Amino acid sequence: MTNTLLYEGKAKIIYATEEPGVLLAVFKDNATAFNAQKRGTIGNKGQVNATVSAQLFRFLAEQGVRNHFIDQPAPNQLRFRQLRMIPLEVVVRNVVAGSLCTRTGLPRGQVLLAPLVEFFYKNDSLGDPLFNDEHIALLELATPAQLAQIRTSALAVNEWLRAFYAQRGIRLIDFKLEYGWDEAGQLSLGDELSPDNCRLWDIDGDRVLDKDRFRLDMGGVDQSYYEVMQRVLQL
């Protein structure tokens, strides 16, 4: 089988496969943070992120959340249906952490009364700026109706993932999603769902289990990623 390199990102290499519309993502152990100013590797990250993403995409598909996942041909590889990606990072937050602390002054750990949805323009050279609905309309990234659909979907994903992680003794603090349009013109969830893209705290004592351990030099990074994978595979 010949695959053609399409794109190499910070965490994944994407190949076109011989099957039209089917992509192969190879997940790397490389880790970056703060717009790639910090670089390193996390042991088994490729396998952990592919496996966690596969489980969560399967679970969300069962709940009726359309997504691009096909299968996991190798521990660090996923096959996806190709989407026409919307260049937005859709962040949903349940608890104050990260850039919400620094932007608002709210204390880390404060539980939000309702989930907060934020949009960041996916553009490394601009540093992924925070966008509101009007910026999104200005750049014609989505129509108001499409944006409403994205918001509704992201909030539904939050409820499903929150319940999924709660069953495994983990609090879902916040996470980032990326969406696109499939060949049928339907909104579909894309990218990955892994400890790189979310904040996960142990229900017992709020021990950090996600990429903040790497970002903030907290140690025990490889072990935490592996623990998340094992807990995601439970039940």
Partner from ligand TMP, ligand ASP, none binding residue 176, C-beta < 5-8 Å depending on class: ligand TMP
Residue that has been written with the tokens 């990260």 in this structure: 98
- The closest residue (CB) to ligand ASP is 32
Told to check if 176 binds ligand TMP by CB under 6 A, we report yes
Min dist CB 118 to ligand TMP, Å, is 7
Contact region with ligand ASP (CB under 6 A), list: 18-26, 33-41, 55-63, 158-166: 33-41
Told to check if 198 binds ligand TMP by CB under 6 A, we report yes
Residue 26 tokens read as 């190879």
* Cα-based distances in Å from 64 to 4, 57, 59, 167: 32, 10, 9, 20
Distance (Å, whole) CA 4 – CA 14: 9
Min dist CB 65 to ligand ASP, Å, is 23
Phi, psi of 180 (to 5 degrees): -155, -175
3-class DSSP assignment, residue 150: helix
Told to check if 32 binds ligand ASP by CB under 6 A, we report yes
Query: How many residues of this chain interact with ligand ASP, rule: CB under 6 A?
Result: 8
Helix (H) or strand (E) run with residue 149 in it = helix 144-166
* Cα-based distances in Å from 9 to 6, 16, 81, 220: 10, 14, 18, 25
Looking at residues 73 to 92 of the shown chain, list those that interact with ligand TMP (rule: CB under 6 A). Answer: 91
Strand arrangement, sheet containing 12-16: 4-8, 12-16, 22-27, 77-81, 69-74
Q: Which of 112, 115, 147 is CA-nearest to residue 131?
A: 147
Distance (Å, whole) CA 109 – CA 111: 6
Distance (Å, whole) CA 118 – CA 127: 15
Told to check if 33 binds ligand ASP by CB under 6 A, we report yes
Told to check if 41 binds ligand ASP by CB under 6 A, we report no
Contact region with ligand TMP (CB under 6 A), list: 41-49, 54-62, 154-162, 168-176: 168-176
Min dist CB 4 to ligand ASP, Å, is 25
Min dist CB 121 to ligand TMP, Å, is 12
CA atoms within 13 A on the CB side of 146: 15
The 169-208 site mask, x for binding ligand ASP (CB under 6 A), equals ----------------------------------------
Query: How many residues of this chain interact with ligand TMP, rule: CB under 6 A?
Result: 11
Residues that bind ligand ASP (CB under 6 A): 10, 32-36, 211, 215
Residues that bind ligand TMP (CB under 6 A): 91, 97-100, 174-176, 197-199
